[in-house]
A and B are shown apart, each in its own frame.
Chain A
Amino acid sequence: MSTIRWRRLLPLAIAVVLVGGIFLWGYQQYTVRKKLEVSLNNKYYRSFYDLLENVQNVEVLLSKALIAQAPEQDSKIFTEIWQRANAAQANLNQLPLTDITTGRTSKFLTQVGDYSLTLLQKVAAGQPKCQKDWNTLQTLYKQTSTLNTKLQDTERRIAEGKLYLGELAQQTGRVVQKEGPKLANGNFQKIDDNLKSFPTLIYDGPFSDKLEEKSAKGLTGAKINIFQAKTRILGLIEHKPGTKYTVEGIRKIEGKIPAFQADLISTSGSSGEKERLSVAVSRQGGKLLWYTLSRKVASNKITLTGAREKAVQFLSKKGYKNVTPIYYEQGTGMVVFNFAATQNGVTLYPDQIKVTVALDNGQILGIEATDYLMTHHQRILPKPVLTLAQAREKLSPHLTKISSGRLTLIPRGTANEVLAYEFRGELDQDTFLIYINTSNGKEEQVLRLVKNKEGILTF
């Protein structure tokens, strides 16, 4: 009797336990999710309120910059604007909005910071701000104060509970693919649209609006068509004996240097092994811009010196004779060598060309000549005013084991180049490169050399 009852009750008991278990599990999942959501939203709110405070500060500081006169005040104000604007830009980019929505605001904040840094450097070099700078600062101030007002409006809506930052995240994730700028986060979109009318800002900083597209200085010759490009590409690559090369596809690239890019497949006659190459030549003159080759690299067999020798030979075969290796970087099974052009023994650092060598058999896996072709041309180098010995006296007394020094051309700002003496020296275990201007003895640049097993890098 009792066994029969048990038999009936057992499934029911199991069902109750199961349902209870599922309920408990579900509830736990819910609380965990809720907790995560809250902590994520808190991060968004923090970014937003930080953004608000930083923009407010930028506004106030810009107005101060308009009336400050002493260089000490100026440098203090510009330093702070630079920091605050950069922090604001970082805050903005942590919000769950896409670059479609915030691109212009982001750019504006970057330029405010970057422009202040440029002015700071000017002040540090003993030049006070001029009328033109003042006018730019005033424009920036007006624009920042509009931005600030709009952000305050958004804040008010958040405070009134009309806007919820967490919702932005969900919308961004869901809608961005399809809707783009119509995102419901219209608040931020409107703020961004406001900056449409902002004039282009041109100054000597890395984020300045470029005056015009720079043309490649190293390119000469007639334009080639797609058929000429194909023949040219097949002629440029290294042909291994007994290997067949076929062009799989060729297309135009509308990049910094207009080019043709082709995908090639090489098939070895003996082993049937295939390698994939990608090659680009410039439309003007048909010069080799870059190529990459991908294959599995076996264990390291050749030394770095051996690999460098291969790179030098390859460059000289391709017509790059006046180049000198400057540094290298090691990756998995390969090493990238950077070369700079030379002119009468002067190293031209802006004109760099890179070559990748496989460490198993010394094959050239890639070349990158775009930078070189953008900048390379015959320079008119000034005669140094300072002698090497005079330049050496400008170096820090803390520096030891100072090298003999050599002439180099280094980039300055975005468009300028200066002739400088390069010295290598050490402080304790750290190695530095110091550049002294040959005409006025100014210390133009201090670089730290970092040697590790990946290579030699400069910072």
Chain B
Amino acid sequence: MNKYKSAVLLFIAFLVLGGFVIFSNAEKAPAQNRTVYWGLSGNDVSRLQQTLYDWGYYPGPVDGVFGNSTYRSLISFQANNGLAGDGVAGPATWAALGFSSGSDPDSQPEPVSVSRGVSNRDDTYLLARVIEGEAANESFAGKVAVGAVILNRLESAAFPHSLAGIIYQPGAFESVSNGQYDRPLTDDSFRAATMAMSGWDPTGGALFFWNPAKPVSPWVWTRNVITQIGRHIFAR
């Protein structure tokens, strides 16, 4: 009887442990593309060839063998994209080919660390995070609008003169104050940030936005209301 009981317990323990092992493996599963170069073969070489073929650099065939022809087309791709033309597909080249080096190739935009030198990618990234925090459930226009408000503040004398200064101003954005903005970015937020940075402003110059369903200071209603997009009211 006792033996039977302990056998069941042992079985359950294995089940739980096994499940854990499976889960932790599942997290590691989407492996990164390895660094490929002349002489290698495999699935990742096929992926490389397919992309280069799609984009018109590689004449074919997609056979998974890294030969002279693949080498030459990779170098011309690298030259056109500001990468070191070494014919080796490392993380930067994979990223340029549109393969994210993050864990989830679908939802993660390329990590900021791949950008080198002068770029405004850091600003776009910062903006995208606040958009994700403040307007994750809003329409695309609602997301661009939140981004536009932050950028409009840059042109206002009453706010800090840098993007980081505006975003991290104490108490300025609820999602920044409570850490909500610190979650995985979606493509939508990133696209919204890029468009706001390029000049899209659905609010026509708003400096404030708030959700009237939440408790807000009555002071905000003294501002000139411009419009409402989704759940947010925008004002100057």
Contact = CB atoms under 8 A, between A and B. Distances in A.
Interface of A: 86, 89-90, 93-100, 103-104, 106-107, 110-111, 114, 169, 172-173, 176-181, 206-207, 251-257, 259, 261, 263, 276, 278, 280, 290, 292-294, 296-297, 299-301, 303, 329, 331-334, 336, 338, 352, 354, 356, 366, 368, 370-371, 448, 450-454, 457, 459
B139 A294 contact: yes
Given A297-B187, A300-B98, A207 B157 contact: yes
Contact of B171 (A96, A251, A256, A280): A96
Nearest to B198: A336
A93 B195 contact: no
B99 to A, nearest CB: 9
| Dominant SS among interface residues on chain B | loop
- Range, interface on chain B: 35 or more
Contacts of B139: 263, 276, 278, 294
Nearest to B56: A303
Nearest to A370: B201
Contacts of B191: 294, 331-334
A354 B199 contact: yes
Contact of A93 (B98, B120, B160): B160
B170 A97 contact: yes
Contacts of B169: 93-94, 99
Max chain A CB contacts within 10 Å: which of B169, B197, B206, B226? B169
Contacts of B83: 453
A245 B206 CA distance: 29
B121 to A, nearest CB: 6
B64 interface: no
A183 to B, nearest CB: 9
B29 to A, nearest CB: 21
B227 to A, nearest CB: 4
A252 B228 CA distance: 9
B74 interface: no
B199 A253 contact: no
Which 9 residue pairs spanning A and B have beta carbons closest together? A255-B204, A180-B217, A294-B140, A278-B141, A180-B219, A331-B194, A110-B157, A207-B157, A107-B157
A365 to B, nearest CB: 8
11 contacts: A89-B161, A99-B169, A103-B158, A172-B171, A177-B214, A253-B204, A292-B141, A292-B200, A294-B188, A336-B195, A451-B82
Contact of B120 (A169, A207, A251, A457): A457
Nearest to B155: A206
A333 B200 CA distance: 18
Given A111-B157, A278-B202, A454 B119 contact: yes
A107 B204 CA distance: 21
B195 A356 contact: yes
B82 A110 contact: no
Interface string B144-172: 10000000000111111100010001111
Contacts of A354: 198-200
A450 B118 contact: yes
Contacts of A181: 217, 219
Given A290-B201, A450-B118, 5 more contacts: A181-B217, A251-B228, A254-B227, A292-B140, A294-B140
B193 to A, nearest CB: 8
Nearest to A201: B157
B32 to A, nearest CB: 17
A93 B157 contact: no
Interface string B54-65: 111000000000
B109 A332 contact: yes
B160 A253 contact: no
